Amino acid sequence: MAPDVVIVGGGAIGAACALELSRAGASVTLLERGPSLASGCSAGNAGLICPSHSAPLATRASLHNGLRWILKPDSPFYLKPRPAAVPWLARFALAARHAEQGARIIRELSVASLELHATWGEELGTGFVRRGVLNVYASEETLAAGSREADASGLPFAALDRAQALMLEPALGERTVGAVLYRQEGHCDPLSFVRAVGEAAASAGAAIRTGADARLRRINGRIAVVAGAEELRPETVVLAAGAWSSRLAGDIGVRFPLEGGKGYHVDLEAGEGDPTRPVWLQESWAIATPLAGRLRLAGTLELAGLDVTINRRRAEAVRAGGIRGLRGLAERRVVDVWAGLRPCAPDGLPIIGRPTATPGLVVATGHAMKGLSLAPVTGRLVAQLVAGAPLDHDLASLRPDRFRPLLPLR
């Protein structure tokens, strides 16, 4: 078989790429190894669509906290010591010097993607809701820092004192000192988003195949995708397999560093007086997002390779963070506990582009905690790359080839 494009990975990024490519007229086959779309990280994140949080993972604060918490396995940001992770961590430490530049790049993409989310919400029924995102602070110092960050972002916001914050969201706890509200931001259920986009892609002509564990091969200078007993030889392969992307790319000699950043959610049964918009509890390191029939508490990041097991201690830390910041959650029934791996590049930026030596491959991964948020704009950029059309955004800083050897090669 020879479709124009084969997409490996059926999460938010892969589904968005399938939709945009199919709408552009390409013959698209999407392969997802799980039993359904969004079987990996896209099934369970906090659901925020928020340009306000555009700082890359690699910042001086993250580096400091990672070192400070390295002996605390239930900390919000945990660097699990592993020899295999040392090169990634070295790149991470070097990249922290350029965090402001990275934030500008991610913010530009996030603003564009926010508007696409609003459009897709109306067109496709993704469940996108635009009620804003509320950042809540428990000290005057962190509130002041949050207000300065908001002012520097150039995004519309409102600074709220304690009384104003409690009036907006009465569920906020006693520790609340103030908040910053980004009114134009939104949220959605990530699983509903991927399903709606996948259905739209199928309606536009994409072949969606689940239970297809794909691998890549080089054959006569081209890339083939092997799924079971079948071999596909497309003109272009789009690699959007999340944290597994670097392993798959390595089979055809394409190298870029990725770490799996394990995040958790704990879904509680819905209750009267729950927040009406996502609440980011800054000191508690937890996000509370209202979804249909439940309140999702999400947070923590553990750099743990491709380990997908659930650490109950870390999940409980997420729940405890929600209890500290919101009223009435201590006795709330837990309906789901989930963990997923976010694909994290060491500089905290997405990896989007064609490797120079492998023009038949387009990489779309490394979005870390911004995969859902950046899915629409990434899908559009990938479609432009495949078509050879002018790009809406400069991808020079996101190219797969940007990672050079740490030591001179002999």
Average pLDDT, whole number, for the chain? Answer: 93
- pTM score, two decimals? 0.95
Please work out, in degrees rounded to the nearest 5, the angle formed at the alpha carbon of residue 191 by the alpha carbons of 190 and 195. 115
Q: Within 10 Å of residue 383's Cβ, how many Cβ atoms? A: 25
Higher pLDDT, 146 or 82: 146
- Helices and strands per DSSP (H, E), number in the chain: 10, 20
pLDDT at 400 over 90: yes
Of 89, 45, 75, 94, nearest to 367 by C-alpha is 45
Using 50, 70 and 90 to split pLDDT, how confident is the model at 33?
A: very high
Please work out, in degrees rounded to the nearest 5, the angle formed at the alpha carbon of residue 186 by the alpha carbons of 107 and 30. 75
pLDDT at 408 over 60: no
Pick the CATH number of 5-132+184-402 from 3.50.50.60, 3.40.1010.20, 3.30.465.10, 3.30.530.20: 3.50.50.60
191-194-200-201 Cα dihedral, nearest 10 degrees:
-150
Beta strands in 138-269, from DSSP E residues, in sequence order: 158-161, 178-182, 186-187, 207-210, 214-219, 222-227, 230-232, 236-239, 259-269
Higher pLDDT, 303 or 330: 330
Q: What are the tens digits of pLDDT across the range 91-117? A: 988 888 889 999 999 999 999 999 999
Q: What are the tens digits of pLDDT across the range 189-238? A: 999 999 999 999 999 999 999 999 999 999 988 999 999 889 999 999 99
What is d(CA 335, CA 350) in angstroms, rounded to the nearest whole number? 32
Gap between the terminal Cα atoms of the chain: 42
Of 303, 302, 285, 294, nearest to 266 by C-alpha is 294
Q: Collapsing DSSP states into helix, strand and coil, what is residue 149?
A: helix
Residue partners of 100: CB distance under 8 A and separation at least 6: none
Of 140, 131, 143, nearest to 168 by C-alpha is 131
What is d(CA 261, CA 14) in angstroms, rounded to the nearest whole number? 19
Domain ranges in the chain are: 5-132+184-402
What is d(CA 395, CA 151) in angstroms, rounded to the nearest whole number? 26
Of 160, 56, 129, nearest to 291 by C-alpha is 129
Helices (H), 32-98: 60-68, 86-95
Where is 374: in which H helix or E strand?
A: helix 371-387
Contact (Cβ atoms closer than 8 angstroms) between residue 259 and residue 57: no
Of 10, 7, 18, nearest to 35 by C-alpha is 10
The pLDDT of residue 89 = 85
Q: How far is CA 42 from CA 53, 328, 373, in A?
A: 18, 28, 11
What is d(CA 116, CA 398) in angstroms, rounded to the nearest whole number? 20
Q: What are the tens digits of pLDDT across the range 57-85? A: 888 888 777 777 766 777 878 777 778 88
- Which residue(s) pair with 206 in the sheet? none
Where is 299: in which H helix or E strand?
A: strand 294-303
The pLDDT of residue 410 = 40
325-331-336-341 Cα dihedral, nearest 10 degrees:
30
Using 50, 70 and 90 to split pLDDT, how confident is the model at 182?
A: very high
- Which residue(s) pair with 262 in the sheet? 302, 341
Q: What are the tens digits of pLDDT across the range 351-394? A: 999 999 999 999 999 999 999 999 999 999 999 999 999 999 99
Using 50, 70 and 90 to split pLDDT, how confident is the model at 409?
A: very low
Q: What are the tens digits of pLDDT across the range 246-267? A: 999 999 999 999 999 999 999 9
Give percent of the chain above pLDDT 70: 97
Residue 347 is classified by DSSP as: T
- Which residue(s) pair with 336 in the sheet? 267
